[in-house]
């Protein structure tokens, strides 16, 4: 392989690593949101049914 190809592969690898990191951060944020939404919905239903 040529040096140009190797540097391109390294660049793509760094880009993919950044994308994975961003996706993991977004997953954590959304997971917390949906847990909170579930709890609030459950409390709301309990209030309505009582």
Q: How many CA atoms lie within 13 A of 46 on its CB side?
A: 6
Q: How far apart are CA 19 and CA 27, in angstroms?
A: 12
Q: How far apart are CA 4 and CA 8, in angstroms?
A: 6
Q: How far apart are CA 37 and CA 50, in angstroms?
A: 20
- The pLDDT, as a whole number, for residue 1 is 63
- The pLDDT, as a whole number, for residue 2 is 82
> If you ran DSSP here, which 8-state letter would residue 2 be given?
-
The torsion of the CA quartet 7, 12, 18, 23, rounded to 10 degrees, works out to -170
Tens of pLDDT, residue by residue over 1-50, are 688 888 999 999 999 999 999 999 999 999 989 999 999 999 999 999 88
- The pLDDT, as a whole number, for residue 14 is 97
pTM, 2 dp: 0.62
- The pLDDT, as a whole number, for residue 4 is 82
- The pLDDT, as a whole number, for residue 16 is 97
């Amino acid at each position: 392989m040529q040096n140009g190809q190797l540097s391109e592969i390294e660049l793509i690898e760094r880009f993919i690593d950044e994308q994975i990191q961003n996706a993991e951060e977004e997953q954590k944020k959304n997971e917390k949101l949906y847990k909170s939404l579930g709890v609030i919905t459950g409390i709301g239903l309990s209030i309505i049914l009582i």
